A and B are shown apart, each in its own frame.
Chain A
Amino acid sequence: GAVVSQHPSRVICKSGTSVKIECRSLDFQATTMFWYRQFPKQSLMLMATSNEGSKATYEQGVEKDKFLINHASLTLSTLTVTSAHPEDSSFYICSARPGRASLNIQYFGAGTRLSVL
């Protein structure tokens, strides 16, 4: 089946530093990738949608200058949390969607747990 790799699985950083999370589709080309955030005991919330070669579309309330998304190739998207603060600590999950033939299916990575000290 389709595999999405997310790295790192866990990261601890100091307040004020930036953290980059990678999301790769290993065996398919992902025209669209999605980034979600999950707070403890809460739903996954969509942060942004990224299409290869174009700017990401952010959901209302998500700061695009704080959460930089790059989707430079059909197999890789990155999320950079800039100037991280303790309130950014959360579980971040990416997903990837293959082409039009599977328009409504998303394959998920294992998530990245970010802890900002």
Chain B
Amino acid sequence: AQSVTQLGSHVSVSEGALVLLRCNYSSSVPPYLFWYVQYPNQGLQLLLKYTTGATLVKGINGFEAEFKKSETSFHLTKPSAHMSDAAEYFCAVSDRYGNKLVFGAGTILRVKS
């Protein structure tokens, strides 16, 4: 079975500050890991994904995440927050076939001016 824990349902940062959204996973098989972003009244948009290979993954809008097997983590970071980054972020895990995405509860990111 797979599961995802996102630490912090709400994160608030100042514009220009580092963004760090935490995600830990549990998986009995090698995981595929994803970060999705959801803006109000919109669908989930894929930010980035890890499947195999390089553990530091770069995504859209300046976000990146690092897969750390020893820590079972896949934290999302961005060096400098922008107002447009305010949204809800979901971490998800699947098996290699992508048949079933298991989501975390989501983290709402607020960016203060």
Contacts and interface: CB of A to CB of B under 8 A. Distances in A.
Interface residues of A, number: 23
**Residues of B contacting A: mostly:** loop
A104 interface: yes
Contacts of A105: 46, 49, 98
Interface of A: 4, 6, 9, 34, 41-46, 49, 93, 95, 97, 103-111
A46 B96 CA distance: 17
Given A43-B106, A44-B103, A104 B97 contact: yes
Contacts of B96: 104
B100 A43 contact: no
Interface of B: 4, 9, 32, 36, 41-46, 49, 51, 90, 94, 96-106
A108 B103 contact: no
Given A46-B101, A49-B99, A108 B44 contact: yes
A42 B105 contact: yes
B43 A4 contact: yes
Given A104-B32, A104-B49, A108-B36, A49 B100 contact: yes
A16 to B, nearest CB: 28
B100 A46 contact: yes
A112 to B, nearest CB: 11
Nearest to A3: B43
Contacts of B102: 43, 46
Contact of B101 (A9, A103, A106): A106
A43 B93 CA distance: 12
A44 B46 CA distance: 15
Contact of B9 (A4, A41, A108): A41
29 contacts: A6-B43, A9-B41, A41-B9, A43-B102, A43-B104, A43-B106, A44-B103, A46-B100, A46-B101, A46-B102, A49-B99, A49-B100, A93-B43, A93-B44, A103-B97, A103-B98, A104-B49, A104-B94, A104-B96, A105-B46, A106-B98, A106-B101, A107-B43, A107-B46, A108-B43, A108-B45, A109-B43, A110-B41, A111-B43
